[in-house]
Amino acid sequence: DAMVIQNPRYQVTQFGKPVTLSCSQTLNHNVMYWYQQKSSQAPKLLFHYYDKDFNNEADTPDNFQSRRPNTSFCFLDIRSPGLGDAAMYLCATSRDRVAGSTEAFFGQGTRLTVV
């Protein structure tokens, strides 16, 4: 059974048109991550939540925003997608060290195409 679910698997959006990617989890993990992965590159951390605390990476463009309304859901908003934002977007979850095992579970990703 899928534990980290990303919807949709494939998303096509127009240049400059806001788009939202979603991630849900059934693991009740308190840490959630968003990564961007471009072709033939390693996943790049955009930001992550530790419970409700939002942690932005210093080099994440302002064009990328995130929301976490509750433990189970997290959203990635791209306010004005450019051609350079075409990539696979990966969501992941983990527990924190205090809670025990800290392995991260990844979703299958959403492949974003910008036209």
Q: Is 60 in the site for other proteins (CB under 8 A)?
A: no
Q: Is 73 in the site for other proteins (CB under 8 A)?
A: no
Q: Looking only at residues 1 through 30 of this chain, which bind other proteins when binding is defined by CB under 8 A? A: 4
| Nearer residue to other proteins within complex by CB, 78 or 91 | 91
CA separation, residue 52 to residues 49, 64, 76, 111 (Å): 6, 17, 15, 26
The span of 11-19, 68-76, 78-86, 99-107 binding other proteins (CB under 8 A) equals: 99-107
CB atoms within 10 A of CB 25: 21
The minimum distance between CB 17 and other proteins, in angstroms, equals 25
